Chains A and B, each alone.
Chain A
Amino acid sequence: MNHLSDRHLLLNLEGELPPHEKKLAQAHLEACWKCRARSRELENAIADFITVQQQELTAEAPPAAGPRALLKARLSQLPPAAPSLFRTRWGWPLAAAACGLLVLGLVLVRTALRPEDATPLVSTPNARLTPGAALLESRQAVCAQSSTNNKIVPVALRKRVFEEYGIARAKPQAYEVDYLVTPALGGADDIHNLWPHSYSATVWNAQVKDALEDRLREMVCGGSLDLTEAQREIATNWIAAYKKYFHTDQPLSKPVTPQPAQQ
């Protein structure tokens, strides 16, 4: 006969055995005097210990009145709990609503800042989209124009330019839809000659380009520069053309007055 271990006897006494093991243990105890005696010894050990352990401190401990009064005094001195949104009746619903608004806000901000919606800085045209286009006009015809102001670009055309440059949702007022080859130099009203030039470009901005256009027109009409060459240079790299014809690496704050035309 396999006897029960002290551990099994104790677990049985404590009601901590699983039901199946409990049945087996109790069946064994009914049949085994030795295990019953050992179980009784363990019970006696519990009784001996608990009796004297409980008596000891109960006899020694002072009355509770003093410590209780001290606790009351200390409790009354504790600061009030910091108000918490979550402890109010509407706390969790409000918190959920706040979270929802936050998420919505983040989505809106994200939407507003999506790459295609942003307002990127454009100071040079994309050569593939805007290679430049010119009318087949002679130098005389070009120089006969009374006004050198750029024509107003129709709204529909402006929209197409923005779409081509992938900034369809950008703020239109942030750009001047500029002619790469200005009409004052024979440039055409063609989408391949239009590009969005950022007003926020702090260095090579639209005003700087206007100065270059004025300079080139003066030179073309003055006979010191071929019209086709002027068109090619401004279409290829207007910034390089500026540097070349103003003899500077940086835009001049006050562009040099063009030399008088030499006929």
Chain B
Amino acid sequence: MPHPLSGSSALPALRSAAASDTDHPRQRLEQEVVELFDEFRLPLLRYLSSFGLSLADGEEVLQEVFLSLFQHLQRGKSRENLRGWLFRVAHNLGLKSRYRAGRDLEHGTATPAIDPAPNPEDQMLTNQIRQRALQVAKALPEQDRRCLFLRAEGLRYREIAGILDMSLGAVSLSLTRSLARIARSAER
């Protein structure tokens, strides 16, 4: 799984690398936030896409998320599991952004998935199945979709439960339901 940063384990390394570039505490903190931005921008954008937010809206939400992160760290608040913190704040700000936009995406109105680069003919079937899986995922009920997208970004059940304010059992049921649907779509 491509998630080397679990919880806060990679943060000391980030901090020490940043410290070698700058001496001023504020600049060091800014540098640290920018590095976290680089690392989590795409995972967070992917999660925000489960809200039906456009890329442009998602990018704007991310700016707010990382400005909040800077202030969070500047106030000396907890650094424990910053990944979970980022997804939680992105979740809340994503909801606000969608509310502001007045969108109702309960059943998903995301843009159709783009066709990846041309494939050999023998991969076409596989790609079609995968595209179908994505379409099914985007058509899931909102809470199921969020669970699935958070899990896809490597968050554990307990973290997902915390972000979405669900029980652990509800998270596992939601993921089971979603994956069963996706599995069914591959059978057709």
Q: Is the CB of B173 within 8 A of A7?
A: yes
Q: Is the CB of B179 within 8 A of A75?
A: no
From A5, A67, A74, give the contact of B41 (CB < 8 A). A67
Q: Is the CB of A53 within 8 A of B137?
A: yes
B90 touches A (CB below 8 Å): no
**Which B residues lie within 8 Å of A11 (CB)?**
172
**Which B residues lie within 8 Å of A46 (CB)?**
179
**Which A residues lie within 8 Å of B183 (CB)?**
41-42, 44-45
Q: How many A-B residue pairs have CB under 8 A?
A: 119
| Smallest CB separation, A40 vs chain B (Å) | 10
Q: Is the CB of B34 within 8 A of A68?
A: yes
Q: Interface size on B (CB < 8 Å)?
A: 45
| Smallest CB separation, B1 vs chain A (Å) | 10
Which residue of A has the minimal Cβ distance to B132? A48
Interface of B is mostly: helix
| Smallest CB separation, A39 vs chain B (Å) | 11
Q: Is the CB of A72 within 8 A of B46?
A: no
Q: A54-B46, A59-B116 given as contacts; is B137 within 8 A of A49 (CB)?
A: yes
**Which A residues lie within 8 Å of B45 (CB)?**
57, 61
Q: Is the CB of A48 within 8 A of B130?
A: yes
Chain B interface: which of A80-88, A173-181, A189-197, A207-215?
A80-88
22 pairs, CB–CB < 8 Å, chain A vs chain B: A7-B173, A10-B172, A14-B175, A16-B157, A44-B183, A45-B180, A45-B183, A45-B186, A48-B133, A48-B182, A48-B186, A52-B113, A56-B114, A57-B45, A57-B49, A59-B116, A67-B63, A68-B37, A68-B38, A74-B67, A75-B30, A87-B75
